[in-house]
Structure 1
Amino acid sequence: MSSVEPPDNPNKIVITDCSDDSRWLKYKADTGQLANDTPGGRHLINAIVQKQADGSWKVSEYGVHEAGTC
């Protein structure tokens, strides 16, 4: 978790993480064939989660950055 707002009674949480797909390969959705033989890498992930009026929490923003960002 990167931050909570406001700290004493949060209604917004910012999450920063890293995903590693350096051992994954991409395949074409329509044919199932290998798209390329270049593995991914480490990707920075950012998300914002906000408290809803009913007390539940929902992701309002989610972003995965390009390989090499973390």
Structure 2
Amino acid sequence: WCVRLVKGAYWDSEIKRAQELGLSGYPVFTRKPNTDVSYLACAKQMFEAGAELIYPQFATHNAHTIA
């Protein structure tokens, strides 16, 4: 299986949609450092799953994350 991990792709639209629906919270992190930590934790889990289970793909515009 290919699994693509993308960071921040739908942030603006998710915040707007939650506000329009009158939700009490947001389905995304509202602080960038929390998004960064979560992305790295998910990436680590994907690598630890092993190549026999998934083929991880990553997308981000953050140069520090890519490194």
TM-score (norm 1): 0.25
Greater fraction of residues in helix: 2
From the two aligned structures, give the one with the greater strand fraction: 1
Larger Cα-atom Rg: 1
Q: Output the TM-score relative to the length of structure 2.
A: 0.26
